[in-house]
Amino acid sequence: MNSVLLADVLVVDDEEPVRTSVAEILRAAGYSVVEAADGQDALDLLESGSVTVMLLDIRMPRRTGIEVLQALDSPPNVILMSAYRFEGEDKRSVGHKVFSHLMKPVAPRQLLDEIKAAINREDR
């Protein structure tokens, strides 16, 4: 079954001000964006379509970012964006599914540079 492209970027963050401001930055740069308030919402969206890049918070209700990655066999290019470090068992278990990790707060230019790099990634 072919998946329908939902958007360039899926922004997954339980903090609404963070999620909406990141989405606004990306839309202003010309990207199509969909938003999810937690990991379960993200998985539900990904069942109905695909995205090129998923910007994923680590700590969220219902499903954490790590649980989202564990549930996906072939995730899109994933950029973790969190105030928490990505290390230890989490990194060992799903690190191979992560394109990069940004620490919050993220400067808009850094965010845009990482999104561009993930979209242009040639080995996907």
The predicted pLDDT at position 96 comes to 83
44 within domain boundaries: yes
List per-block mean pLDDT (blocks of 10 residues) for the chain, which spans 124 residues: 75 97 97 96 93 94 92 93 73 78 93 95 56
110 within domain boundaries: yes
22 within domain boundaries: yes
Global pTM reads: 0.90
Count of domains for the chain: 1
23 within domain boundaries: yes
Domain hosting residue 93, numbered range: 5-119
CATH of the domain at 11: 3.40.50.2300
Those residues whose C-beta lies under 8 Å from the C-beta of residue 89, and which sit 6 or more positions away, are none
